[in-house]
Structure 1
Amino acid sequence: MAQHYSTPSAIQIVDFNLFYGQAFYDLNHEWISKYFVMEDADVKSLSDPQGYIINKGGHILMALFNGEPVGTCALLKDGEGVFELAKMAVAPKMQGMKIGKMLGEAAIDWARRAGAHKVYLVSNRRLQTALNLYERLGFVEVPLPASIYERADIKMELELQPAK
């Protein structure tokens, strides 16, 4: 059953379904191509989110505005109780409306309810607005191990308290 997350505005955060597959691809392709180059790992996860993310225990959220997908983020399962926050994107025309914050909070809430004790992410220091958001969500920088993404130059983690 699809979960809906309450938000303080006209933005609705909903669980991914295959209807949103093209939007998931397009939203991410847009920002990745703007700043970087699409890597093999991007193509794999964006082309088959059901198989690459959801069927492996992960989750994807979509932000809708008047029913139109305007943002997304994914949680990739990476071991017992650990998820990677990834593929967060907001349509340029909707940036500055706190959609990234809403998606991040909903993703953290989902991970906590799924029994996670940690959520981490890898990013790039060029994406300062995103890094500021992650810090506001409680993520802290930790040493960066080898990553599947060449563009990654920072890792951040958030330790979670159990769901109440």
Structure 2
Amino acid sequence: MNTIEIIEYTPDLQPDFERINKQWVEQFFSLEEFDRNQLENPKEYILDKGGAILFAKEGKRILGTVGLVKAGDGAFEMIKMGVSPEARGRGIGRLLGMAILQKARALGGRKVVLYSSSKLEAALALYRKIGFKDIPMGCGQYGRCNVKMEIDL
């Protein structure tokens, strides 16, 4: 087995970011306008706003991804975490989650929030395993959201 490497976004990885995330979003929900904006134009909607995107790479294959957007002073939102179906169950989501929290710290973050859905049981279990706590607050702009979590860095 090859080693999983965590790498940062480069423009040539945009199709992988879009492919991986469209797969899970369309499996459970439908794409919303904010999804299309982030997936098709990550530089404009994520990176240029102080965010980051990381990928899990094995050999030449991109197996997973996760994003981070600035959500205020010292706060970030973890977004668009996905792992290709054939790579699930290998700990790649955990690696990506830990790496994006480290990236948030490096960018001066003190807290990371995420918005999710109770339909995504495996994802919620992973988030709790890496230290996120459920908080009883609204989900704002996201139609599919019924869970909000956060972690203090």
Per the normalisation by structure 2, the TM-score is 0.97
Residues 100-141 of structure 1: per-residue CA shift (max 9 Å, x gap)? 000000000011111111000000001010000000110000
Cα distance in 1 between the residues matched to 2:140 and 2:22: 19
Q: Number of paired residues?
A: 152
Q: Does 1:101 align with 2:94?
A: yes
Task: Decide which of 17, 20, 27 is 2:20's aligned counterpart.
Answer: 27
Residues 9 and 55, structure 2, Cα contact 8 Å, conserved in 1: yes
Q: Tell me what 1:61 maps to.
A: 54
Cα distance in 1 between the residues matched to 2:120 and 2:15: 24
Residues 68 and 78, structure 2, Cα contact 8 Å, conserved in 1: yes
Residues 28-62 of structure 1: per-residue CA shift (max 9 Å, x gap)? 00000000000111011111000100000000001
Partner SS state of residue 72, structure 2: coil
**Could you list the runs of 5+ residues in structure 1 that have no partner in the other structure?**
1-8
**Could you list the runs of 5+ residues in structure 2 that have no partner in the other structure?**
none
Letter in 1 for 2:65: T
Q: Does 1:91 align with 2:87?
A: no
CA RMSD of aligned residues (A): 0.9
Residues 139 and 146, structure 2, Cα contact 8 Å, conserved in 1: no
Q: Tell me what 2:65 maps to.
A: 72
Q: Tell me what 1:136 maps to.
A: 129
Identity %: 38
4+ residue runs over 3 A deviation? none
Residues 119 and 159, structure 1, Cα contact 8 Å, conserved in 2: yes
Cα distance in 1 between the residues matched to 2:79 and 2:136: 18
Per the normalisation by structure 1, the TM-score is 0.90
Cα distance in 1 between the residues matched to 2:139 and 2:112: 17
Post-superposition offset of 1:67 = 1.8
Q: Does 1:38 align with 2:31?
A: yes
Letter in 2 for 1:32: V
1:121-160 correspondence runs (5 A): 121-160=114-153
Cα distance in 1 between the residues matched to 2:149 and 2:122: 14
Cα distance in 2 between the residues matched to 1:103 and 1:146: 23
